[in-house]
Amino acid sequence: MNHPILTAEGVDKTYPSREGDVSALRDISLTITEGEFVSLVGPSGCGKTTLLRILGGLLQADRGGVHIDGQILTEPRRDIGFIFQDPTLMPWRSVLKNVTLPLEVQGRNGHEHRKRAMELLGLVGLLGFENLHPHELSGGMQQRVAIARALVHEPAILLMDEPFGSLDAITRNQMNLELLRIWNATRKTILMVTHTIQEAIFLADRVLIMSPRPGHIQATLEVDLPRPRDNEIYYNEDFAKLYHLVRDSIAAA
């Protein structure tokens, strides 16, 4: 059995406002094991992004704590990678130079690291595009660059915040298949926020369901569907049952 790599215990977060303090998260506890793919769903405004930022060290919890591989998390770490809805690529840099940017920031740029970046561009299907600039790429291709950039410094954990939310339905479906292929090849630990129930189930080993604000984990569903997965799984009776369980759990809240 894989060991726990990311844990949160009793996490609370409150924001000040003109009308008084707003409780965003309340008593969040979770455990994610090494190599696991977990989806996080819930109604808009329930604190999914806030939780993701706390788990990545970008925000501090008001109460409770986060541990990465047994060590308390107090700030961003090299072994955590982020992928956001906006690829946030540097428009003046080529595809290859966007991918190698984290290595440059860490002072690790060199021949071996350029070689690693090219390997990742191959993994995400962008070999031959390394000298293009972001404006010359489609939205899906830009997000593939963002995935390669997030992987280039070999993080143990990927935190993904609605990474395909701005893509059209066809491209989003293609990117789901690509993400599964990349996960199968790398077996990175992934926690992904999504508003799409089908996407959450299709990708994950488990789905965590958050309540309305103040957000807490109100349910966890095991996705006991065979891997590898393709689009045929959408017609699986067990997939439909899981979809209704997740939908009903969110609606009940």
- Per residue in 115-160, pLDDT tens? 889 999 999 999 999 999 999 999 999 999 999 999 998 899 999 9
pLDDT at 27: 96
Residues 57 and 167 in one domain: yes
Last residue of a domain, one of 131, 154, 177: 154
State which H helix or E strand residue 7 sits in: strand 4-15
Residue 3 has pLDDT above 70, yes or no: yes
pLDDT at 103: 85
Spell out the long-range contacts of 221-224 with Cβ–Cβ below 8 A and sequence spacing 24 or more.
221/245, 221/246, 221/249
Question: How far from the centroid of its chain's Cα atoms is residue 246's Cα?
Answer: 19
Residues 186 and 141 in one domain: no
Do 77 and 153 touch, CB atoms closer than 8 A? no
Buried b (16+ CB within 10 A) or exposed e, 42-72: bbeebbbbbbbbbbbbebebeebebebeeee
Last residue of a domain, one of 123, 154, 185: 154
Give the structural domain span for 138. Answer: 87-154
Question: How big, in percent rounded to 5, are the helix, strand and coil portions of the chain?
Answer: 35, 25, 40
Count of the separate structural domains present in the chain: 2
How are strands ordered across the β-sheet holding 206-210? 80-83, 157-161, 189-193, 37-41, 206-210, 217-222
pLDDT at 2: 76
Residue 1 has pLDDT above 70, yes or no: no
Instruction: Choose between 251 and 128: higher pLDDT.
Output: 128
pLDDT at 78: 87
Q: What pTM value is reported for the model?
A: 0.93
Q: What is the mean pLDDT of the chain?
A: 92
Residue 55 has pLDDT above 60, yes or no: yes
State which H helix or E strand residue 159 sits in: strand 157-161
Residues 188 and 235 in one domain: yes
pLDDT at 239: 97
Residues 8 and 60 in one domain: yes
- Per-residue pLDDT tens for 90-103? 999 999 999 999 88
Residues 189 and 148 in one domain: no
Residues 59 and 162 in one domain: yes
Q: Which phi-psi region, left, alpha or beta, contains residue 241 (left: φ > 0; alpha: ψ -120 to 50)? A: alpha
